[in-house]
Amino acid sequence: MSHHLAERLREGTRQSHTAAENTAFMKCFLKGIVERDPFRKLLANLFEVYQALETEMQRHKDHPVVGAMIFPDLLRVSALAQDLAYYYGSDEPARPLPAGQVYVDRIHEVADKAPELLVAHAYTRYMGDLSGGQALRAIARTAMNLPADQGTAFHEFTQLPTPEARRAFKAQYRNALDALPIDEETVQRIIDEANYAFQLNRDLVHDLEDEVKAAIGEHVFDLLTRQTIPGATERSPQALPHEGHPVGIPEHSL
Known binding-site residue numbers for heme b: 10, 17, 123, 174
Strands (E), the chain: none
Tell me the DSSP string of 24-83: HHHHHHHTT---HHHHHHHHHHHHHHHHHHHHHHHHTTTSTTTGGG--GGG--HHHHHHH
Q: Among 152, 172, 150, 140, which residue's Cα sits nearest to residue 72?
A: 172
Question: What is the C-alpha to C-alpha distance for residues 107 and 190, in angstroms, rounded to an integer?
Answer: 13
What is the SS3 assignment for 156?
Answer: coil
Annotated binding residues: 10, 17, 123, 174
Query: In Å, how far from its chain's centre is CA 205?
Result: 11
Residue 112's CB: how many other CB atoms inside 10 A?
Answer: 10
